[in-house]
């Protein structure tokens, strides 16, 4: 830090020297070089014409002229250096961090702190979108800037919500009624005159864990955030009936004022991190209340110990794994010892080990610490013995349902498509290493047209790295598709590469940048060229969704791509990536965050793409999905492929 | 967001006028009586930073909601990244594209603050803090605020109005690029050139003479080079990414101002209830209308 500030000083000295030099140049060019001392050069005087008549260029140059010009510039040059010196002595970043907590410019200071800590995320986002753009074969400016900006705005909204529920800018902090964490009486929730949920009656007790289930769009988040207050105060939803949380009326009490007794863990935990380190993140809610730093620190350490993550305290927030990030977000919500803890789909990104850990923590909080815990989730299996009650949302109503028995529902249908004879793609000796760390180790397999192959394995097994390496191979003779060595295809002939292999990355939204679905499809068609017998991206997309009515189709195509549901968006990206009719279509984690209906939609789309003449490979940790839609499974563990015996259907 | 000018609007307007005087001091100094005239440059150098602080203090209270601060924060990061990246590729300053589009989407105050925070952060990170920083902050703030003050377009179809808006913003981008260069040159010109040259600022000289000198100075320093590059970048940038970026920004609305009246519990629109609670303590009101979502 100190060295960086000294570098600033050096820059300032250089700038000041440049300033003096420039002043000398002005003096010499505009006829002011004359003076005492030795005559150096006797340039002729060149008078200007027109409105600039009195101005004369050049003229004799003397040492006296130069010295006087340089001396005249010194006061301002000194000012430049002096201001830089202030910057060296004063740690402006520390000042900002302090100013963001209290004082008359805390919003501006907080703005700058957020901007500062957003930088790494912004850089990652640009790098990711650049890869996505290459995968789509796009080179336009918009295809880079729009996804980055969308991610930025998404982060802003998540961040705003996260600051709000942790008490940022709270004017008052009412005392909670700990015996009644949530009471809803004949409540209705909706937007602009149409109700999403109606006739909700709830009375949740302390020391219980309530599970909220239902398909995507059924209102799980709405119900949760009607409790946190984000629904009424942050996203502009309307409420009828009565909702009180810890005795506070939810309509008149914004989330920031209940931050002391309502903890919230949002769906996208990474987007909602406010600070740069884990310790700062854990203590944020206390720090902005003006609690003394030593107490904030002690409490952060205490929470970290409770969650079994003391080793993470000094860690940079950006390098946490999915499971660690979830625990840190939980810790940040627990730091004020909430009466009510609201957790929105905590398990979506986690592998089995991390899931068990998070469920265990929530279990202890409810049944040992006496917190009222409310969890929205569409995977029920993990919650078997833990949940005390389950609320099922369907058709605008909240129903009490049985608690899950602990047995995951098994998909019944069998793999549909059998493999062809000749392998379309041959992957030989593929290795991916980051420095010393070998992620994929000398892997080889074949893919055939018409089959859907599932690539499974735990988090961090190298599934994504493997797919990336197949789509953008760096070595020669490792990926051969339809007789073409993809690694040897030059960048110039991107189209050839896209006709061989296309990848839908996990962050598939990165590929979208137009303002309507129709434009998005047209761009894809143009990028794919006149391609023989290509049915058109829009047609493929509509076929994926099973939409035949022209009016419905028109309405869908006129929408903003980001207003589509997650399942529809993924289908759109699959259609876009299929536009060049690739022989191999790779999809990374297509089921993340999707409910059963959306998974089925995407699964059917994959089967259709396979039937249309592609070899499809899906990386997933969702075994049900793999069992239902894949014709065979490859398991990746520790960078090597195993073929599980029982599911090897081919 | 706010229809009637509030006292903060007047205050911000007055601050901007005084700050502009700080920029234009070489042309206004003659109005000052003789002995005090030598102090004018120093007053200008001290005045503008003080006014930046005044603007920050005025707007801080108003910006004090979580979402506004979050949006302002991440957009400041974007603006700073664009500015620093631009320095790397030969001064192609695309930061105006961000300022203009954000100012347009979120209003003049947001634009003003975004310009200032972007300059503050990029100067902090890049190490370019100097006497010019407050001047840059104001000038960039004005660029963003100006986009927010441009008239709303309400002609023809939404599509036509959208195109016209982009055309207006692109034209504004060109004007703003040159205007930015001119006012930045204006306050700095006497310092940059010094005395004793043909284009020096001469205190007390007739206005046409000073204007001619300033014209030459401005032409050779930036108008023909940086400002033109900036104008072209802004024009091309706004035309290329403007529609998509404006849509993206407008999809994330700013919250209503903090001082707004508390929300009513009644939904907007005709949100009539169809189902009532069957719980014993629920209000016994019969269904009044069909479910709004059933409307065709």
Contacts of A367 (CB under 8 A, 6+ apart): A207, A209
From the CA of A12, how many Å to the nearest CA of chain B?
A: 7
Q: What's the pLDDT at A445? A: 86
Which of A109, A115, A184, A393 should be substituted to probe chain B, the one whose Cβ sees the most B Cβ atoms within 10 Å? A115
Q: What's the pLDDT at A491? A: 55
Flag if A83 and B281 touch (Cβ within 8 Å). Answer: no
Per-residue confidence at A4, pLDDT binned at 50, 70, 90?
Answer: low
The minimal CB distance from A55 to the residues B67, B198, B269 is found for B198
Q: Write down the pTM of the prediction.
A: 0.77
Q: Which of A189, A207, A206 is nearest to A198 (CA)?
A: A189
Interface of A with B in 542-601 (CB under 8 A): 560, 562
Q: What's the pLDDT at A206? A: 92
From the CA of A24, how many Å to the nearest CA of chain B?
A: 8
DSSP state of A381: G
Q: Is the pLDDT of residue B255 over 60?
A: no
Flag if B248 and A150 touch (Cβ within 8 Å). Answer: yes
Other CB atoms within a 10 A radius of the CB of residue A543 amount to 17
Contacts of A645 (CB under 8 A, 6+ apart): none
Tell me the average pLDDT across A52-70.
76
**Pairing label, strands A340-344, A372-376:** parallel
**Pairing label, strands A423-434, A584-588:** unpaired
Interface of A with B in 502-541 (CB under 8 A): 513-515
**How much is the mean pLDDT over chain A?**
82
> Angle B207-218/B158-193 helices, nearest 10 degrees?
110
Flag if A193 and B271 touch (Cβ within 8 Å). Answer: yes
The nearest alpha carbon in chain B to A110 belongs to B69
What is the C-alpha separation between A487 and A480, in angstroms, rounded?
Answer: 8
CB neighbour class for A427 (10 Å; exposed up to 12, middle 13-18, buried from 19): buried
Per-residue confidence at B1, pLDDT binned at 50, 70, 90?
Answer: very low
Chain B residues with CB-CB distance to A52 below 8 A = 212, 215-216
Per-residue confidence at B266, pLDDT binned at 50, 70, 90?
Answer: very low
Per-residue confidence at A350, pLDDT binned at 50, 70, 90?
Answer: confident
Q: What would the pLDDT profile of A226-258 be if each residue is shown by its tens digit?
A: 999 988 887 778 888 899 999 999 988 889 899
Q: Are A515 and B247 in contact (CB under 8 A)?
A: yes
Q: Is the pLDDT of residue B256 over 70?
A: no
Q: Are A396 and A195 in contact (CB under 8 A)?
A: yes
What is the C-alpha separation between A385 and B241, in angstroms, rounded?
Answer: 52
What is the C-alpha separation between B131 and B179, in angstroms, rounded?
Answer: 20
Q: What's the pLDDT at A210? A: 93
From the CA of A336, how many Å to the nearest CA of chain B?
A: 19
Q: What are the domain boundaries of chain A?
A: 2-90, 114-165, 182-401, 423-642
From the CA of A459, how many Å to the nearest CA of chain B?
A: 30
Q: Is the pLDDT of residue A85 over 80?
A: yes
Query: According to DSSP H, which parts of A335-388 are helical?
Result: 352-367
Flag if B63 and A108 touch (Cβ within 8 Å). Answer: yes
Q: What's the pLDDT at A226? A: 92
Q: Which of A417, A350, A429 is nearest to A641 (CA)?
A: A429
Interface of A with B in 420-439 (CB under 8 A): none
Chain B residues with CB-CB distance to A161 below 8 A = 66-67
B276 vs A633: which has the higher pLDDT: A633
Per-residue confidence at A1, pLDDT binned at 50, 70, 90?
Answer: low
Q: Residue B295 to residues A205, B227, B289, B292: CA-CA distances in angstroms?
A: 38, 55, 11, 6
Phi, psi for residue A24 in degrees, rounded to 5 = -60, -45
Tell me the average pLDDT across A92-96.
75
Flag if A515 and B243 touch (Cβ within 8 Å). Answer: yes
B36 vs B235: which has the higher pLDDT: B235
Q: Do domains A182-401 and A423-642 have the same CATH topology?
A: yes
Chain A residues with CB-CB distance to B252 below 8 A = 153, 156-157
The nearest alpha carbon in chain A to B239 belongs to A142
What is the C-alpha separation between B77 and A122, in angstroms, rounded?
Answer: 8
From the CA of A221, how many Å to the nearest CA of chain B?
A: 18
Q: What would the pLDDT profile of A559-574 be if each residue is shown by its tens digit?
A: 888 888 888 888 899 8
Phi, psi for residue A469 in degrees, rounded to 5 = -70, -30
From the CA of B134, how many Å to the nearest CA of chain A?
A: 12
Per-residue confidence at B100, pLDDT binned at 50, 70, 90?
Answer: very high
Interface confidence, given as ipTM, is: 0.77
Tell me the average pLDDT across B82-92.
68
| The two structure tokens encoding residue A626 | 């793999």
Q: What's the pLDDT at A411? A: 36
Flag if A157 and B70 touch (Cβ within 8 Å). Answer: yes
From the CA of A224, how many Å to the nearest CA of chain B?
A: 18
The minimal CB distance from B282 to the residues A106, A160, A201 is found for A201
Q: Is the pLDDT of residue A414 over 50?
A: no
What is the C-alpha separation between A137 and A495, in angstroms, rounded?
Answer: 7
Interface of A with B in 23-52 (CB under 8 A): 23, 26-27, 29-32, 48, 51-52
Q: What's the pLDDT at A493? A: 66
Interface of A with B in 162-201 (CB under 8 A): 163-164, 168-169, 185-186, 188, 190-195, 198-201
The minimal CB distance from B77 to the residues A8, A115, A256 is found for A115
Q: What would the pLDDT profile of A140-167 be if each residue is shown by its tens digit?
A: 777 888 888 888 888 888 888 888 898 8
Three-state secondary structure of chain B:
CCCCCCHHHHHHHHHHHHHHHHHCHHHHHHHCCHHHHHHHHHHHHHHHHHHHHHHHHHHHHHCCCHHHHHHHHHHHHHHHHHHHHHHHCCCCCCHHHHHHHHHHHHCHHHHHHHHHHHHHHHHHHHCCCCCCHHHHHHHHHHHHHHHHHCCCCCCCCHHHHHHHHHHHHHHHHHHHHHHHHHHHHHHHHHHHHCCCCCCCCCCCCCHHHHHHHHHHHHHHHHHCCHHHHHHHHHHHHHHHHHHHHHHHHHHCCCCCCCCCCCCCCCCCCCCCCCCCCCCCCCCCCCCCCCCHHHCC
Tell me the average pLDDT across A478-485.
78
Per-residue confidence at B269, pLDDT binned at 50, 70, 90?
Answer: very low
Q: What would the pLDDT profile of B6-19 be if each residue is shown by its tens digit?
A: 788 888 888 888 88
Q: What's the pLDDT at B30? A: 73
Strand partners for A58: A45
Per-residue confidence at A20, pLDDT binned at 50, 70, 90?
Answer: confident
Q: Which of A417, A450, A488, A487 is nearest to A584 (CA)?
A: A450
The residue to which tokens 């589009």 are assigned: B101
A48 vs A340: which has the higher pLDDT: A340
Which of B185, B192, B248 should be substituted to probe chain A, the one whose Cβ sees the most A Cβ atoms within 10 Å? B248
Q: What would the pLDDT profile of A301-328 be if each residue is shown by its tens digit?
A: 999 998 889 999 988 887 788 888 899 9
- Kindly indicate whether the domain formed by A182-401 is annotated with CATH number 3.30.1130.10: no
Other CB atoms within a 10 A radius of the CB of residue A472 amount to 16
What is the C-alpha separation between A247 and A19, in angstroms, rounded?
Answer: 65
Flag if B66 and A156 touch (Cβ within 8 Å). Answer: no
**Does A12 contact chain B (CB < 8 Å)?**
yes
Contacts of A279 (CB under 8 A, 6+ apart): A297, A300, A301, A304, A313, A314
Three-state secondary structure of A311-323:
HHCCCEHHHCCHH
From the CA of B173, how many Å to the nearest CA of chain A?
A: 18
Which of B8, B61, B70 should be substituted to probe chain A, the one whose Cβ sees the most A Cβ atoms within 10 Å? B70
| The two structure tokens encoding residue B139 | 């000038």
Angle at B117 between CA A259 and CA A111, to 5 degrees: 10
Q: Residue B178 to residues B141, B191, B223, B225, B231: CA-CA distances in angstroms?
A: 15, 20, 7, 10, 7
Q: What would the pLDDT profile of B109-137 be if each residue is shown by its tens digit?
A: 899 999 999 998 888 887 678 888 889 89
Q: What's the pLDDT at A339? A: 93
The nearest alpha carbon in chain B to A14 belongs to B128
Other CB atoms within a 10 A radius of the CB of residue B147 amount to 26
Q: What's the pLDDT at A209? A: 93
B92 vs A407: which has the higher pLDDT: B92
The nearest alpha carbon in chain B to A119 belongs to B77
Q: Is the pLDDT of residue A364 over 70?
A: yes
Q: pLDDT above 70 covers what percent of chain A? A: 91
Q: What's the pLDDT at A3? A: 64
Q: Is the pLDDT of residue B42 over 50?
A: yes
**How much is the mean pLDDT over chain B?**
77
Chain A residues with CB-CB distance to B193 below 8 A = 23, 26, 30
Other CB atoms within a 10 A radius of the CB of residue A565 amount to 15
Per-residue confidence at A490, pLDDT binned at 50, 70, 90?
Answer: low
Quickly name the fold that domain A423-642 has.
Rossmann fold (3.40.50)
The residue to which tokens 């904030």 are assigned: A296
Q: Residue B59 to residues A80, B53, B117: CA-CA distances in angstroms?
A: 29, 10, 12
Which of B198, B209, B295 should be substituted to probe chain A, the one whose Cβ sees the most A Cβ atoms within 10 Å? B198
Per-residue confidence at B92, pLDDT binned at 50, 70, 90?
Answer: low
């Amino acid at each position: 830090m100190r060295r960086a500030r000294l570098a600033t000083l050096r820059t300032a000295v250089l700038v000041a020297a440049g300033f003096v030099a420039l002043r000398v140049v002005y003096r010499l060019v505009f006829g002011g070089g004359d003076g005492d001392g030795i005559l150096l050069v006797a340039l002729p005087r060149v008078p200007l014409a027109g409105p600039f008549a009195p101005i004369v260029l050049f003229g004799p140059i003397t040492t006296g002229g130069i010295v006087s010009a340089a001396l005249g510039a010194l006061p301002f040059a000194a000012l430049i250096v002096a201001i830089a010196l202030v910057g060296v002595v004063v740690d402006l970043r520390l000042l900002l961090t302090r100013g963001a907590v209290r004082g008359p410019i805390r919003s501006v200071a907080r703005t700058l702190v957020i901007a500062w800590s957003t930088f790494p995320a912004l850089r990652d986002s640009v790098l990711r979108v650049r890869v996505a753009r290459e995968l789509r074969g796009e080179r336009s400016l918009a295809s880079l800037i729009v996804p980055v900006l969308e991610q930025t705005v998404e982060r802003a909204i998540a961040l705003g919500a996260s600051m709000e529920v942790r008490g940022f800018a709270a004017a008052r902090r009412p005392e909670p009624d700990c015996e009644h964490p949530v009471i809803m009486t004949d409540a209705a929730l909706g937007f602009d005159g149409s109700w999403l949920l109606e006739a909700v009656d709830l009375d949740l007790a302390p020391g219980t864990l309530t599970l909220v289930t239902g398909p995507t769009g059924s209102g799980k988040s709405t119900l949760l955030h009607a409790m946190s207050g984000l629904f009424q105060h942050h996203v502009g939803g309307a409420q009828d009936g009565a909702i009180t949380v810890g005795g506070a009326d939810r309509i008149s009490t914004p989330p920031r004022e209940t931050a002391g007794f309502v903890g919230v863990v949002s769906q996208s935990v990474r987007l909602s991190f406010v600070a740069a380190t884990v310790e700062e993140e854990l203590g944020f809610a206390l720090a902005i209340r003006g609690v003394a730093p030593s107490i904030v620190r002690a409490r952060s350490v205490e929470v970290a110990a409770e969650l079994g993550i003391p080793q993470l305290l000094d860690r940079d927030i950006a390098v946490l794994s999915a499971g660690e990030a979830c625990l840190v977000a939980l810790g940040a919500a627990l730091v004020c010892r909430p009466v009510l803890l609201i957790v929105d789909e905590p398990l979506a990104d986690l592998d089995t080990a991390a899931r068990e850990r998070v469920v265990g923590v929530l279990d202890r909080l409810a049944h040992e610490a006496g917190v009222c815990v409310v969890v929205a989730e569409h995977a029920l299996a993990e919650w078997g013995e833990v949940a005390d009650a389950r609320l099922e949302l369907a058709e605008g109503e909240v129903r009490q349902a049985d608690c899950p028995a602990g047995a995951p529902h098994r998909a019944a249908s069998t793999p549909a498509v059998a493999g062809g004879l000749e392998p379309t793609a041959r992957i030989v000796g593929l290795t991916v290493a980051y420095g010393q760390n070998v992620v994929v180790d000398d892997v080889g397999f074949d893919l055939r047209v018409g089959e859907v192959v599932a690539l499974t394995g735990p988090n961090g097994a190298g599934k994504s790295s493997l797919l990336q390496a197949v789509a953008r191979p760096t070595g020669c003779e490792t990926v051969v598709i339809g007789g073409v060595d993809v690694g040897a295809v030059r960048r110039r002939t991107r189209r050839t590469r896209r006709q061989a292999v296309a990848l839908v990355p996990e962050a598939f939204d990165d590929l979208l940048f137009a303002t309507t679905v129709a434009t998005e499809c047209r761009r894809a068609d143009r990028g794919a060229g006149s391609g023989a017998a290509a049915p058109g991206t829009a047609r493929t997309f509509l076929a994926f969704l099973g939409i035949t009515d022209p009016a419905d189709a028109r309405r869908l195509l006129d929408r903003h791509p980001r207003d589509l549901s997650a399942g529809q968006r993924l289908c759109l990206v699959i259609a876009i990536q299929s536009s060049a009719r690739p022989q191999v279509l790779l999809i990374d984690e297509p089921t993340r965050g999707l409910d059963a209906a959306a998974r089925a939609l995407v699964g059917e789309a994959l089967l259709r793409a396979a039937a249309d003449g592609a070899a499809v490979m899906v990386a997933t940790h969702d075994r049900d999905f793999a069992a239902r839609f894949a014709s065979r499974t490859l398991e990746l563990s520790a960078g090597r492929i195993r073929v599980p015996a029982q599911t090897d259907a081919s | 967001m706010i229809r009637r000018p509030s006292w903060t609007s007047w205050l911000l307007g007055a601050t901007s006028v005084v700050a502009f005087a700080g920029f234009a001091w070489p042309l206004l100094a003659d109005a000052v009586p003789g002995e005090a005239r030598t102090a004018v440059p120093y007053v200008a150098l001290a005045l503008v930073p003080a006014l930046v602080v005044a603007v920050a203090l005025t707007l801080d209270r108003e910006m004090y909601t979580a979402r506004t601060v979050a949006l302002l924060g991440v957009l400041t990061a974007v603006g700073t990244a664009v500015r620093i990246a631009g320095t790397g590729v030969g001064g192609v300053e695309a930061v105006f594209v961000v300022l203009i589009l954000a100012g347009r989407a979120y209003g003049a105050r947001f634009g003003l603050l975004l310009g200032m925070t972007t300059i503050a952060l990029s100067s902090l990170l890049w190490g370019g803090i100097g006497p010019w920083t407050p001047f840059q902050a104001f000038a960039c703030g004005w660029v963003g605020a100006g986009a927010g003050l441009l008239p709303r377009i309400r002609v023809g179809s939404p599509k036509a109005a959208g195109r016209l808006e982009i055309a207006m913003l692109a034209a504004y981008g060109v004007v703003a690029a040159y205007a930015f260069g001119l006012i930045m040159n204006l306050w700095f010109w006497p310092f940059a050139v010094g005395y004793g040259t043909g284009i020096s600022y001469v205190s007390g000289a007739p206005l046409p003479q000073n204007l001619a000198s300033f014209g030459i100075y401005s032409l050779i320093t930036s108008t023909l080079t940086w400002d033109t590059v900036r104008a072209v970048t802004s024009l091309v940038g706004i035309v290329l990414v403007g529609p998509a970026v404006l849509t993206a920004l407008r999809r994330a609305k700013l919250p209503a101002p903090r001082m707004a009246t508390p929300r009513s519990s009644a939904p907007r629109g005709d949100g009539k209830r169809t189902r009532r609670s069957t719980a014993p303590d629920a209000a016994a009101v019969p269904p009044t209308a069909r479910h709004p979502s059933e409307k065709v």
